[in-house]
């Protein structure tokens, strides 16, 4: 008689993110067109700021994750100004980021990490760097180069699922939380990605 092995729990690869408006995407795309770094450009529809990367998450932990997000939604709206280029050389990434990190963003990321510890997640030890990835697999690096400012009002944050496909990764926004209240918006838009999670 065969002994049935316990079934592995179904998981989703999740992360929290800021999802840009179309006008922010267009402005970043214009900046990316002026960059020569030998890398693969990230499609405009895939631009985002990763707040906290969670990795594989089962249903029970996802419920905990969503509860934490709802509980910290008292963080008010804030503003980002993307105004400089930088690189993560080891990862081959070129990005647009901020000279000065918004206190509202710091508060949101801090509260997410603190709350997620109650769901069994280890807090991120690396310093948080506000960035939107513009290129992957770059072989030329840019360091702290100013660009025309892109103004981005932040009114919500998202829980996003990442799936790996033969053509690359696909991102799907699962839930959206309005900043300044505890009401969660459920959405189902799907965004195709070339690769990666950051």
List the catalytic residues: 48, 131
Chain centroid to Cα 71, Å, comes to 20
What is the rounded distance in angstroms from the CA atom of residue 83 to the CA atom of residue 70? 31
């Amino acid at each position: 008689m065969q002994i049935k092995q316990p079934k592995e729990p179904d998981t989703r690869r999740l992360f929290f993110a800021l999802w840009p408006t179309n006008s922010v995407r267009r402005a970043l795309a214009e900046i990316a067109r002026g960059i020569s770094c030998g890398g693969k450009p990230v499609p405009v529809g895939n631009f985002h700021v990763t707040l906290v990367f969670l990795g594989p998450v089962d249903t029970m932990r996802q419920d905990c994750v969503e509860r934490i997000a709802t509980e910290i939604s008292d963080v008010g709206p804030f503003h980002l100004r993307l105004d400089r280029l930088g690189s993560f050389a080891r990862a081959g990434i070129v990005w647009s980021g901020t000279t000065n990190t918004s206190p509202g963003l710091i508060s949101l990321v801090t509260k997410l990490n603190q709350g997620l510890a109650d769901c069994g997640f280890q807090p991120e030890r690396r310093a948080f760097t506000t960035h939107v990835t513009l290129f992957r697999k770059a072989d030329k690096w840019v360091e702290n180069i100013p660009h025309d400012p892109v103004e981005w009002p932040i009114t919500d944050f998202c829980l996003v699922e990442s799936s790996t496909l033969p053509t690359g990764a696909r991102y799907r926004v699962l839930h959206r939380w309005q900043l300044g209240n505890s009401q969660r918006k459920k959405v189902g838009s799907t965004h195709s990605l070339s690769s990666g999670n950051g």
